[in-house]
Amino acid sequence: MIVVLAGGRATRMGGGDKALRMLGDATLLDHVLNRLAGQGGRIVLNANGDPARFARFGLPVVADSLPNHPGPLAGVLAGMEWAMRHAPGRADIISVPTDSPFIPRDLIARLLAARAAEGAELACASSLGRTHPVVGLWPVRQAAELRAALLGGVRRVEAWTAGFRRVQVPFEGGAVDPFLNINRMEELAEAAALLGQGFVVSR
């Protein structure tokens, strides 16, 4: 199961739904869903507020189960808890952010293969020397422990994952980061320029 994290408040872009920002002729969420198509598994959207604004995507919308927007780990927890209720046989979830429109098309297969090969508990993506901790593979059985950590004040993904065996899976995109993360308007413009040049991430 894949959880697309769209629960943030996009404060560095003036607020609102970053997932619904336009990139070319489609929203950021459209681009992410396009990259995930065919990778397998049901997709759910982690977002807070009125779910009706995402109705056209036809996805289950799962809000944070903890108050005050405690960050991406709350979205991971929401995905875990949704899986426990609606897909009780599901051992893992994959999380991806809604603001990385060039996510590799082989992301899930490579995360799963690397975790198995290394005997790790968690897997996350890396590229161009940077770790992307919210692009990760998470065992659903960790839900209760993650909830307790969040209630205890843990917010940073790296702080949570430090207690587990985690493998980082490198993805190379040439000169352009396949996990280009859009947090500011200038980064949205950069992504638009890449689309205009016909940029496609091959891996």
Q: What is the pTM of this model?
A: 0.91
SS (H, E, C) 96-145: EECCCCCCCCCHHHHHHHHHHHHCCCEEEEEECCEEEEEEEEEEHHHHHH
Q: Which domains does the chain have, with CATH numbers?
A: 2-196 (3.90.550.10)
User: pLDDT tens digits for 21-65?
Assistant: 999 889 999 999 999 999 988 999 999 999 999 999 999 999 999
Contact assessment for residue 72 and residue 5, using Cβ atoms and an 8 Å cutoff: yes
pLDDT for residue 158: 94
pLDDT of residue 15: 61
pLDDT under 70: residue ranges of the chain: 8-16, 173-175, 197-203
**What pLDDT score does 191 carry?**
87
State the pLDDT at residue 9. 59
Cβ distance 79 to 3 under 8 Å?
Answer: yes
